[in-house]
Amino acid sequence: MADIRLILTSDYARLGRDARQLSRREAAGELSRIRQGVYVPAADWRAMSGWEKYPVLIEAAVSTLRSRTVLCRQSAACVWGVPLLGVHTLVHACTGDDGGGRSRAGVRRHHADFRTLEFEERGGFLVTSRLRTVLDLAAFDSFEQAVVAFDHVLKPDPGRALPAFTKDDLAAGVSVYSAAAARRIQVALDFSDPAAGSPGESLSRALMYLGGVKLPLLQSEVRDARGLAGYLDFEWPEDRIAGEFDGMVKYQKAEYLQGRTAGHVVVEEKRREDRIRATGRRVIRWTWSDLASPAKFAAFLVAAGVPKVKRSSCRR
């Protein structure tokens, strides 16, 4: 899972080599110790972002635990490729101990009934089932994270090896949770929408809900005299406002560039936006940095002309 070489002190000992060499290489700045008994090349570690480091921390933990461990919650989501919000460092694993909830050496244990727990092997790791994993995120994490996870697994994607779930599939798994957790899951599930084009768009919509602003249409089609001008991430048609989340991946990743340079993509985006504006719509754009909190994002949208609305608060 991790695209970086792990160096284990246990491997050194098994080969009859002096494991103290590793601590000396760490002191020299050549290696970074990311967990007791696990080192990685320091330059590679420094070059990685926080979200890129999390799979490495998971692999490091699993490599040093004495017994095979079933990963759950955020760690299982990472293995399944479910988008996570924020930077994570704790590895989450199941335990049959009624206590649960304890954290030691970077691993947090959560109680699970192994008689009914569904888990499987994925990429060399034991993980809770994909359905159980996203339900756990909705039950125990934020509303925003739940929406991002549900939108992701509900969305059909021919490029994915994994099939999309339906809302009925997800709702059928709610019965194992407490009444309070089931309510949290249902609120997010009712709100989820597979039309969301990316995790950033899912988070944007969740924050619109939490921030009390009018909810938009998703992926609406825009046409002009020349034909199709494009599809909008968000549209408030009565207010003549188009919203676009700019996650920057379209300027960086090969699958989005499709042989074009980043400069070509910028020019094409500018032309597309000019055509949309010419239809009488105002276009507003935002990035990840604008999604710091529901209140700040709501203030940004209201300042751009998106109306506030009254709705009951989201109970979590």
Cβ atoms of 202 and 148 within 8 Å: the answer is yes
159 and 245, same structural domain? Answer: no
Looking at 128, 162, 191, the residue that finishes a domain is 191
Looking at 164, 191, 218, the residue that finishes a domain is 191
- The sheet that has 241-245: what strands, in order across it? 217-224, 227-236, 241-245, 282-286
What percentage of residues in the chain have a pLDDT greater than 70?
90
Considering the domain boundaries, does residue 316 fall inside one?
no
Q: Which residues contact 5 (CB under 8 A, 6 or more apart)?
A: 40, 41, 44
125 and 241, same structural domain? Answer: no
- Selection from 71, 44, 73 nearest residue 58 by Cα: 71
Residue listed under structure tokens 């084009």 = 197
226 and 116, same structural domain? Answer: no
Burial-class residue 242 by CB neighbours within 10 Å (0-12, 13-18, 19+): buried
Q: Where are the beta strands (DSSP E) in 130-281?
A: 217-224, 227-236, 241-245
The model's pTM is 0.88
Considering the domain boundaries, does residue 57 fall inside one?
no
| Tens-place pLDDT, residues 24-40 | 999 999 999 999 999 99
What percentage of residues in the chain have a pLDDT greater than 90?
67
Considering the domain boundaries, does residue 108 fall inside one?
yes
Note the pLDDT of residue 264.
64
| Tens-place pLDDT, residues 78-135 | 999 999 999 999 999 998 876 565 678 899 999 888 888 999 999 999 999 999 999 9
